Protein backbone atom coordinates (compact mmCIF):
# COMPACT_ATOMS: atom_id res chain seq x y z
CA UNK A 1 0.00 0.00 0.00
CA UNK A 2 1.36 3.40 -0.97
CA UNK A 3 0.29 6.05 1.52
CA UNK A 4 -0.41 9.63 0.48
CA UNK A 5 -1.27 10.61 4.03
CA UNK A 6 0.40 9.05 7.03
CA UNK A 7 -2.00 7.29 9.41
CA UNK A 8 -0.71 5.91 12.70
CA UNK A 9 -3.60 3.93 14.02
CA UNK A 10 -7.28 3.15 13.40
CA UNK A 11 -9.68 1.14 15.53
CA UNK A 12 -11.79 -0.57 12.88
CA UNK A 13 -11.23 -1.33 9.22
CA UNK A 14 -13.77 -2.34 6.56
CA UNK A 15 -12.94 -4.27 3.39
CA UNK A 16 -15.15 -4.50 0.30
CA UNK A 17 -14.42 -5.66 -3.22
CA UNK A 18 -16.68 -6.72 -6.10
CA UNK A 19 -17.90 -10.28 -5.53
CA UNK A 20 -21.26 -11.99 -4.79
CA UNK A 21 -24.03 -9.46 -5.62
CA UNK A 22 -21.41 -6.67 -5.32
CA UNK A 23 -22.49 -6.56 -1.66
CA UNK A 24 -19.12 -5.54 -0.18
CA UNK A 25 -18.30 -3.04 -2.92
CA UNK A 26 -21.73 -1.32 -2.68
CA UNK A 27 -21.75 -1.29 1.15
CA UNK A 28 -18.19 0.04 1.62
CA UNK A 29 -18.54 2.59 -1.20
CA UNK A 30 -21.80 3.87 0.37
CA UNK A 31 -20.16 4.14 3.81
CA UNK A 32 -17.16 6.05 2.35
CA UNK A 33 -19.53 8.57 0.73
CA UNK A 34 -21.90 8.84 3.70
CA UNK A 35 -19.08 9.51 6.18
CA UNK A 36 -17.12 11.67 3.70
CA UNK A 37 -13.96 9.63 4.31
CA UNK A 38 -10.60 10.80 2.93
CA UNK A 39 -8.39 8.74 0.64
CA UNK A 40 -5.06 7.99 2.35
CA UNK A 41 -3.45 5.15 0.42
CA UNK A 42 -3.65 2.96 -2.68
CA UNK A 43 -2.47 -0.48 -3.64
CA UNK A 44 0.26 -0.70 -6.25
CA UNK A 45 2.04 -3.78 -7.62
CA UNK A 46 3.30 -5.04 -10.97
CA UNK A 47 0.96 -8.04 -10.87
CA UNK A 48 -2.17 -5.87 -10.82
CA UNK A 49 -3.99 -5.16 -14.10
CA UNK A 50 -2.68 -2.01 -15.85
CA UNK A 51 -5.68 0.09 -14.85
CA UNK A 52 -6.45 3.49 -13.42
CA UNK A 53 -9.89 4.92 -12.70
CA UNK A 54 -10.68 8.59 -13.27
CA UNK A 55 -13.03 10.40 -10.90
CA UNK A 56 -13.79 14.10 -11.47
CA UNK A 57 -10.79 14.27 -13.75
CA UNK A 58 -8.42 12.79 -11.16
CA UNK A 59 -6.68 9.50 -12.01
CA UNK A 60 -6.63 7.02 -9.12
CA UNK A 61 -5.64 3.43 -8.43
CA UNK A 62 -8.70 1.14 -8.33
CA UNK A 63 -7.81 -0.29 -4.88
CA UNK A 64 -7.73 2.46 -2.25
CA UNK A 65 -7.81 3.06 1.51
CA UNK A 66 -9.94 5.75 3.15
CA UNK A 67 -9.91 7.02 6.73
CA UNK A 68 -12.21 9.07 8.94
CA UNK A 69 -11.40 9.38 12.66
CA UNK A 70 -10.83 5.83 13.96
CA UNK A 71 -12.38 4.07 10.97
CA UNK A 72 -10.60 2.91 7.81
CA UNK A 73 -12.22 1.48 4.67
CA UNK A 74 -10.47 -0.48 1.93
CA UNK A 75 -12.26 -0.73 -1.39
CA UNK A 76 -11.51 -2.19 -4.79
CA UNK A 77 -13.41 -0.78 -7.76
CA UNK A 78 -12.48 -3.75 -9.95
CA UNK A 79 -12.72 -7.46 -9.14
CA UNK A 80 -9.53 -8.86 -7.64
CA UNK A 81 -8.36 -11.43 -10.21
CA UNK A 82 -7.92 -14.94 -8.74
CA UNK A 83 -4.17 -15.02 -9.54
CA UNK A 84 -3.60 -11.82 -7.54
CA UNK A 85 -5.74 -12.70 -4.50
CA UNK A 86 -2.93 -14.05 -2.29
CA UNK A 87 -0.52 -11.08 -2.66
CA UNK A 88 -3.41 -8.58 -2.41
CA UNK A 89 -4.67 -10.29 0.77
CA UNK A 90 -1.17 -10.16 2.30
CA UNK A 91 -0.81 -6.46 1.41
CA UNK A 92 -4.21 -5.74 3.00
CA UNK A 93 -3.34 -7.60 6.21
CA UNK A 94 0.14 -5.99 6.33
CA UNK A 95 -1.50 -2.54 6.21
CA UNK A 96 -4.18 -3.48 8.77
CA UNK A 97 -1.50 -4.84 11.10
CA UNK A 98 0.65 -1.71 10.71
CA UNK A 99 -2.32 0.44 11.82
CA UNK A 100 -2.98 -1.70 14.92
CA UNK A 101 -6.56 -2.30 13.80
CA UNK A 102 -8.68 -3.91 16.54
CA UNK A 103 -11.11 -5.62 14.15
CA UNK A 104 -11.07 -5.98 10.38
CA UNK A 105 -14.59 -6.39 8.94
CA UNK A 106 -14.76 -8.03 5.51
CA UNK A 107 -18.11 -7.43 3.79
CA UNK A 108 -19.60 -9.83 1.27
CA UNK A 109 -22.66 -11.82 0.29
CA UNK A 110 -23.80 -15.40 0.44
CA UNK A 111 -25.91 -16.41 -2.56
CA UNK A 112 -29.39 -17.75 -1.81
CA UNK A 113 -31.77 -19.27 -4.36
CA UNK A 114 -34.89 -17.65 -2.89
CA UNK A 115 -33.52 -14.10 -2.65
CA UNK A 116 -36.63 -12.72 -4.44
CA UNK A 117 -38.82 -13.95 -1.58
CA UNK A 118 -36.65 -12.36 1.15
CA UNK A 119 -37.64 -8.85 2.24
CA UNK A 120 -34.75 -8.09 4.62
CA UNK A 121 -31.66 -10.24 4.00
CA UNK A 122 -30.16 -11.96 7.04
CA UNK A 123 -26.49 -11.41 7.83
CA UNK A 124 -24.23 -14.34 8.69
CA UNK A 125 -20.86 -13.96 10.30
CA UNK A 126 -17.57 -15.81 10.53
CA UNK A 127 -15.06 -14.69 13.17
CA UNK A 128 -11.46 -15.53 13.94
CA UNK A 129 -12.07 -16.04 17.68
CA UNK A 130 -14.72 -16.82 20.30
CA UNK A 131 -14.76 -13.13 21.30
CA UNK A 132 -15.63 -12.19 17.74
CA UNK A 133 -18.43 -14.77 17.67
CA UNK A 134 -19.74 -13.40 20.97
CA UNK A 135 -19.95 -9.89 19.47
CA UNK A 136 -22.36 -11.14 16.75
CA UNK A 137 -25.28 -10.98 19.21
CA UNK A 138 -25.06 -7.18 19.27
CA UNK A 139 -25.48 -6.88 15.52
CA UNK A 140 -28.12 -9.58 14.97
CA UNK A 141 -25.52 -11.51 13.05
CA UNK A 142 -26.08 -15.25 12.81
CA UNK A 143 -22.90 -17.32 13.05
CA UNK A 144 -22.25 -19.31 9.86
CA UNK A 145 -22.05 -22.80 11.32
CA UNK A 146 -21.01 -24.82 8.27
CA UNK A 147 -19.93 -23.85 4.78
CA UNK A 148 -17.13 -22.82 2.48
CA UNK A 149 -15.56 -19.44 1.93
CA UNK A 150 -13.71 -18.60 -1.25
CA UNK A 151 -11.96 -15.59 -2.70
CA UNK A 152 -10.27 -12.53 -1.21
CA UNK A 153 -12.10 -12.65 2.13
CA UNK A 154 -11.14 -16.30 2.68
CA UNK A 155 -7.44 -15.61 2.09
CA UNK A 156 -7.54 -12.43 4.23
CA UNK A 157 -9.11 -14.44 7.07
CA UNK A 158 -6.50 -17.19 6.71
CA UNK A 159 -3.76 -14.56 6.95
CA UNK A 160 -5.45 -12.95 9.99
CA UNK A 161 -5.68 -16.34 11.71
CA UNK A 162 -1.94 -16.88 11.16
CA UNK A 163 -1.04 -13.48 12.60
CA UNK A 164 -3.60 -13.36 15.42
CA UNK A 165 -5.53 -10.41 13.97
CA UNK A 166 -9.26 -10.08 14.70
CA UNK A 167 -11.28 -10.52 11.53
CA UNK A 168 -15.02 -10.81 11.02
CA UNK A 169 -16.54 -11.67 7.66
CA UNK A 170 -20.14 -10.43 7.32
CA UNK A 171 -22.13 -12.26 4.63
CA UNK A 172 -25.61 -11.02 3.71
CA UNK A 173 -28.12 -13.23 1.90
CA UNK A 174 -27.89 -12.02 -1.66
CA UNK A 175 -28.35 -12.54 -5.39
CA UNK A 176 -25.31 -14.28 -6.85
CA UNK A 177 -25.15 -12.44 -10.14
CA UNK A 178 -27.27 -9.33 -9.81
CA UNK A 179 -26.11 -6.28 -7.85
CA UNK A 180 -27.87 -6.37 -4.48
CA UNK A 181 -28.01 -3.00 -2.65
CA UNK A 182 -30.64 -4.47 -0.27
CA UNK A 183 -28.10 -7.03 0.95
CA UNK A 184 -25.48 -4.26 1.24
CA UNK A 185 -27.93 -2.29 3.42
CA UNK A 186 -28.30 -5.30 5.75
CA UNK A 187 -24.52 -5.47 6.30
CA UNK A 188 -24.41 -1.71 7.03
CA UNK A 189 -27.20 -2.13 9.60
CA UNK A 190 -25.20 -4.91 11.26
CA UNK A 191 -22.14 -2.63 11.38
CA UNK A 192 -24.34 0.14 12.85
CA UNK A 193 -25.10 -2.18 15.76
CA UNK A 194 -21.64 -3.77 16.06
CA UNK A 195 -19.46 -0.64 15.98
CA UNK A 196 -21.95 2.29 16.12
CA UNK A 197 -21.17 3.23 12.53
CA UNK A 198 -24.14 5.63 12.36
CA UNK A 199 -24.85 5.31 8.63
CA UNK A 200 -28.49 5.62 7.53
CA UNK A 201 -29.30 3.19 4.70
CA UNK A 202 -32.48 4.99 3.54
CA UNK A 203 -30.74 6.70 0.60
CA UNK A 204 -29.15 3.41 -0.44
CA UNK A 205 -32.53 1.65 -0.44
CA UNK A 206 -34.24 4.58 -2.21
CA UNK A 207 -31.65 4.45 -4.99
CA UNK A 208 -31.51 0.65 -5.10
CA UNK A 209 -32.85 0.26 -8.66
CA UNK A 210 -30.63 2.99 -10.08
CA UNK A 211 -27.56 1.41 -8.46
CA UNK A 212 -28.53 -1.96 -9.97
CA UNK A 213 -28.76 -0.38 -13.39
CA UNK A 214 -25.46 1.46 -13.13
CA UNK A 215 -23.42 -1.48 -11.81
CA UNK A 216 -24.42 -4.00 -14.52
CA UNK A 217 -21.06 -3.96 -16.30
CA UNK A 218 -19.11 -4.33 -13.05
CA UNK A 219 -21.36 -7.23 -12.05
CA UNK A 220 -20.78 -8.96 -15.38
CA UNK A 221 -17.01 -8.53 -15.11
CA UNK A 222 -17.11 -9.76 -11.52
CA UNK A 223 -19.11 -12.82 -12.52
CA UNK A 224 -16.47 -13.70 -15.10
CA UNK A 225 -13.77 -13.36 -12.47
CA UNK A 226 -15.76 -15.36 -9.89
CA UNK A 227 -16.35 -18.17 -12.37
CA UNK A 228 -12.66 -19.01 -11.98
CA UNK A 229 -13.17 -19.57 -8.23
CA UNK A 230 -15.12 -22.24 -6.34
CA UNK A 231 -17.65 -19.61 -5.18
CA UNK A 232 -20.64 -21.88 -5.72
CA UNK A 233 -19.23 -24.16 -3.02
CA UNK A 234 -20.54 -21.69 -0.46
CA UNK A 235 -23.89 -23.41 -0.63
CA UNK A 236 -22.43 -26.83 0.06
CA UNK A 237 -21.77 -28.54 3.38
CA UNK A 238 -18.12 -29.38 3.99
CA UNK A 239 -17.05 -33.01 4.25
CA UNK A 240 -15.79 -33.01 7.84
CA UNK A 241 -18.28 -33.99 10.59
CA UNK A 242 -21.04 -34.94 8.09
Partner 1 sequence: MSKKPQRREPKAQPITPWEPYDLLSDSFEKMWNLTDGSLEPLGEVRELEKTVQVTVDLPLVRRKDIKVKLAGDILQIDAELNRCITFNRWGTVQKKCEFRSFHKSFRLPTKVTTIGAKARFRKGVLVVELPKAEEAHEVVIE
Total site size for partner 1, rule CB under 8 A: 21
At CA 192, angle to CA 190 and CA 196, rounded to 5? 135
Looking at beta carbons only, is 99 or 115 nearer to partner 1?
Answer: 115
Site string for partner 1, 66-85 (x = CB under 8 A): ------------x--x----
Name which position in 209, 239, 240, 242 contacts partner 1 (CB under 8 A).
209
Q: Which stretch binds partner 1 (CB under 8 A): 120-128, 146-154, 160-168, 218-226?
A: 218-226
Shortest approach of partner 1 to residue 217 CB, angstroms?
Answer: 5
Closest distance between partner 1 and the C-beta of residue 25, in Å?
15
Rounded Cα–Cα distance for residues 52 and 54 (Å): 7
Ordered alpha helix ranges (H), 181-242: 181-195, 202-206, 208-214, 216-226
Which of 89, 73, 69, 72 is CA-nearest to residue 81? 89
Q: Are strands 58-60 and 63-68 parallel, antiparallel or unpaired?
A: unpaired
In the complex, minimum distance from the CB of residue 30 to partner 1, in angstroms, rounded to a whole number: 17
Q: Does 145 engage in binding with partner 1 (CB under 8 A)?
A: no
The residues, any chain, with a CB within 8 Å of residue 207's CB and separated by 6 or more, are 181
- Rounded CA gap, 189 and 196, in Å? 9
The yes or no reply on residue 217 touching partner 1 (CB under 8 A) is: yes
Q: Answer whether 75's CB lies under 8 Å from 105's CB.
A: no
Segment interacting with partner 1, rule: CB under 8 A, options 88-96, 136-144, 160-168, 213-221: 213-221
Task: For residue 8, count CB atoms less than 10 angstroms from its CB and return exposed for 0-12, middle for 13-18, buried for 19 or more.
Answer: exposed
Residue 63 Cβ, how far from partner 1 at the closest point, in Å? 14
For position 5 contacting partner 1 by CB under 8 A, the verdict is no
Q: Does 58 bind partner 1 (CB under 8 A)?
A: no
CA atoms of 35 and 196, how far apart (whole Å):
13
Give me the least distance between CB of 108 and partner 1, in Å please. Answer: 19
Q: Does 64 bind partner 1 (CB under 8 A)?
A: no
Residues at the site binding partner 1, with contacts judged by CB under 8 A: 49-51, 78, 81, 116, 175, 177-179, 208-210, 212-213, 216-217, 219-221, 224
Amino acid sequence: MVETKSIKRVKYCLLGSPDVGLVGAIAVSFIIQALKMDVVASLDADILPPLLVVHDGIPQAPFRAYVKNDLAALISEVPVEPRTIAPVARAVVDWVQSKNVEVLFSISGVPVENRLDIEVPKVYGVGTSATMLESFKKGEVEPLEEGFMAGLHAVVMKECLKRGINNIVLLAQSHLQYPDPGAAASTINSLNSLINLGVDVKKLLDEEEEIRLKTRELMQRTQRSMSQMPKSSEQEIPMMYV
